[in-house]
Amino acid sequence: MAGALLLGGLLTLAYAPFDHWWLTWLCLISFILLLAKSPVQQAFKLSFAFGLGWFGAGISWVHVSIADYGGLPLIGSIGLMLVLCAYLALYPACVFYTLKKYFDIKLWPLALPLLWLMAEALRGWLLTGFPWLSLGYSQLLSPLSGWFAVIGEFGVSALLILGCAALACSLLHRQWLSGVLVVTVLGLSGVVLNQINWVKPTQQQVNVAMVQGNIQQALRWVPEQDLPTMQTYQTLTAAHWGADIFIWPEAAIPKLEPLALDYLADLDQQMVQHQAGLITGIVNYNFENQQAFNNLLALGLKGHTQLKSDNSTAQQGQYHYFHANRYAKHHLLPIGEFIPFEDWIRGLAPIFDLPMSSFSRGDYQQANLQVKGWYFAPAICFEIAFPAQIAANLQPHTNFIITVSNDAWFGHSHGPAQHLQIAQTRAKEFGLPVLRATNNGITAFIDHLGNIQSRLPQFEAAVLQDNIAIVGGYTPYRQFADWPMWLLTLISFGVASRLRNKHI
């Protein structure tokens, strides 16, 4: 059990900020060998230990927010963390137990990819979903990276699990050549695919400035800090007039929207005067029906130009309360933005009564934000971890993916780096630049290939300004999503099942 726990824990080093992608291969192959040599009665416990190590080390940053802002004693925060990790560990435990019990080791490379994808799909959906640390993310810098634009992170996870199972089984049967051949083909094909320009930059560029306010989490919802926070963002913005578009992070404006109407109208006017547009996070609260939404608003210029009949710049902005050029977060974070079984557990502990923890959901599919003639497909915080939701909001006219977040919850942990890696993966999958604005880091421009074009240091109040190219074209993944991998793994599983039945 200790060996499985250790192998799972080592997987953390394969993800950002460590990026030792080869460790995923080493850990998975070693675990599959360990599983193969163990009795079936041990399979579930062994796999559960592997999953507990994987998630226990990988999402240890969750403990930071629980301990620092949840108001629980250390034993309570550790207990909640263990409950979450134990829940997540059930998925690989069920997969490997099923594999061990029902399939001969020689059939594992054929059967495992579908079982794995089914478990990962369920993990990304059940209880609103938590698809963090999916295996494919660890391969962003590996030879498999060329596959992201073709089959997405979901598909890369399947190829990875296939390659590891094939190599492990070939080693068990001392037929290592076949396993090496499979892994070599996967790696070389990924390298070749990485040379294909599915999407190409055009001559058009947009100058974008993203503002990182670096507001301490403990001060974000303190009423006395509302004005200083808003002044911080205005002051940082004013030093960069000349940019086409400004982006402020999630809930950058700490006042509820109905209470900030004068501030928003003034901001809207400033943007028009400087021929710019702004996207900012804010919470909208309807006092009549008591619904709250985690929103992104577009202010300033909506089209490329706004001219009067005498060709002078129009002085009328677009903003009015509840105007349509906005986005409401759909995928809410459990505990942080909504409380499961609220009637039962609200009030049991401070963590279940955090500020802004009763949001209403926006629609799954919403119109792009339009700013100065450009179109942005939005994702707030961990929505960027759901590629199907991103795909649902991509339109033929979409120019950018924008994701805003407040990772101040996670302090100096590796959580923000993993979050950035997920955003890079979305850029590579869909072939679109991703603009990531955060409160305290990691704020970054990501190009259409998933590379970080420029970024700000964490824990600094600063502005990141850069020219972002408009791109043309579609990646295969943007066109076909996950369907090809579902079909291929289903066929592979069918073959494994048929071969298994022949030997029963």
Residue 290 corresponds to which tokens in the numbers above? Answer: 């008591």
Residue 73: is it exposed, middle or buried by C-beta count within 10 angstroms (0-12/13-18/19+)? exposed
Active site residue 224: no
**How would DSSP label each residue in 128-153?**
G---TT-GGGGGTTSGGGGGHHHHHH
Instruction: Please work out, in degrees rounded to the nearest 5, the angle formed at the alpha carbon of residue 425 by the alpha carbons of 134 and 64.
Output: 55
Give all strands (DSSP E) within 138-255, no chain letters. 200-212, 245-247
Q: Which of 120, 153, 250, 337 is catalytic?
A: 250
Residue 452: is it exposed, middle or buried by C-beta count within 10 angstroms (0-12/13-18/19+)? middle
Give the number of other CB atoms < 10 A from CB of residue 190.
20
* Whole-number Å distance between alpha carbons of 453 and 467: 10
Q: Are 178 and 166 in contact (CB under 8 A)?
A: yes
* Whole-number Å distance between alpha carbons of 232 and 388: 35
Q: Which of 329, 372, 383, 428 is catalytic?
A: 329
Q: Which own/partner contact pairs does 23-31 have at CB distance under 8 Å and 24+ positions apart? A: 23/138, 24/135, 24/138, 24/139, 24/160, 24/164, 25/160, 25/163, 25/164, 25/167, 28/135, 28/160, 28/161, 28/164, 28/168, 29/164, 29/167, 29/168, 29/171, 31/4, 31/7
Q: Name residue, tokens 């005498």.
A: 310
Active site residue 381: yes
| CA distance to 215, 249, 388, 390, 397, per residue, from 364 (Å) | 30, 21, 10, 10, 19
The residues pairing with 209 across neighbouring beta strands, listed in sequence order, are: 246, 465
DSSP SS3 for 47: helix
* Whole-number Å distance between alpha carbons of 420 and 423: 5
Q: Which of 27, 94, 164, 381 is catalytic?
A: 381
**SS3 letters across 229-246:** HHHHHHHHHHCCECECEE
Catalytic residues: 250, 329, 381
